[in-house]
Amino acid sequence: ISIIIPCHRVVGTSGSLIGYAGGIEKKVALLMLEHTDMSRFFVPKKGTVF
């Protein structure tokens, strides 16, 4: 379902990967599966607050 409904592609205005119900790790995995250039994004660590 995650590939069909692409909520994992939502990125914050600052370029941070935010707001994915499946978790940031799964969001990153899906983006990498799509060969997304991850150098453009900030991947928050657990406990990071914006």
What are the contacts of 18-26 at 24+ separation with CB within 8 A?
Answer: 18/44, 18/50, 26/2
* Catalytic option among 6, 7, 10, 48: 7
Q: Please answer whether residues 41 and 8 qualify as being in contact, where contact means their C-beta atoms are separated by less than 8 angstroms.
A: no
Q: What pLDDT does residue 35 have? A: 93
DSSP summary character for residue 45: P
Is there a catalytic annotation at residue 50? no
Q: What pLDDT does residue 3 have? A: 64
Domains of the chain, by residue range, sit at 7-40
Q: What pLDDT does residue 2 have? A: 62
Instruction: Give residue-wise pLDDT tens across range 1-50.
Output: 566 777 888 888 888 888 888 888 899 999 999 999 989 888 887 655 55
